[in-house]
Amino acid sequence: MIRVQGLQKSFGEQRVLRGIDVDFHEGQCNLIIGLSGSGKTVFLKSILGLHATDEGSISFDGRILGEMSKKEVKALRQEMGMVFQGSALFNSMTIEDNVRLPLDFFSQMTPEEKAERVRFCLDRVRIAPEAFTKTPAELSGGMQKRVAIARAIVLNPKYLFCDEPNSGLDPETAIVIDQLIHEITHEFGMTTVINTHDMNSVLEIGDHVVLLEKGKKAWEGTMDQVLQSDDSAVVDYVFRSNLFKKVRVALKNV
């Protein structure tokens, strides 16, 4: 479980996170939603330790990030996987090498075992063997995202983080990516935290949904509760689109 307590972060005069308390549970897809500029990415990067926080604590199964030694943080990082918004694959490497990089650095596996593990992960995200020797630039956006997921899970992480994994993808590919993350989360019992704007993702895989508004937690619940909620923050964010307004009315009538 990841526990965030009283998290605050400012950049100069600008307060981005204003005291966030939230728990992310194991084996769940935890979705963070909110308008652009609500602090989602800063929040995610703060949990990852990419931004130093001003106040508050972040703990990973009882281990408090701010109180850990450099060595312990390094060990913790090997329990984390991250899928970046733009995939962040290394352009100078092949797909295979991209996925193998964390193994080369942090595993004691033999080259054969590494190759086997890379094949397993790429196969798990449904990348065909013909693509293994290609470079990221030769793949479509959806395939790059899948390779990024394979790289994120190659060390068998306990915690998976995804920053807008669907951005820039067509609706069909977006659903495939969502389902893949959901399956992997349940299959490996990971604690998954996803930043998203995509309401379809919320309704498909949102085991736990947290709505951020102006750097504060405005609401939290499950995907079913989102549609039923009368909370003004949820209504303002989720039911802004006509489609979801109609869904809400239909559900109320049922």
Least separation in angstroms between residue 188's CB and another protein is 18
Least separation in angstroms between residue 220's CB and another protein is 25
Containing H/E element for 194? strand 191-195
Q: Closer CB to another protein, residue 63 or residue 77?
A: 77
Segment 122 to 161, residues that bind another protein, using CB under 8 A:
161
- The residue from 55, 61, 72, 104 that contacts another protein (CB under 8 A) is 104
Contact 231, 219 (CB under 8 A): yes
Q: Closer CB to another protein, residue 8 or residue 85?
A: 85
- The residue from 16, 22, 80, 176 that contacts another protein (CB under 8 A) is 80
Least separation in angstroms between residue 77's CB and another protein is 3
Residue 185: closest CA among 222, 156, 225, 146: 156
At 140, list the tokens.
């479509």
At 179, list the tokens.
């389902």
Alpha helices in the chain (DSSP H): 40-47, 70-77, 95-106, 111-124, 141-153, 171-188, 199-205, 223-228, 232-238, 242-253
At 176, list the tokens.
């495939």
| CA dist., res. 146 & res. 238, Å (int) | 27
Segment 19 to 38, residues that bind another protein, using CB under 8 A:
none
Least separation in angstroms between residue 100's CB and another protein is 11
**Interface stretch with another protein, choices 25-33, 75-83, 115-123, 243-251 (CB under 8 A):** 75-83
Segment 170 to 229, residues that bind another protein, using CB under 8 A:
none
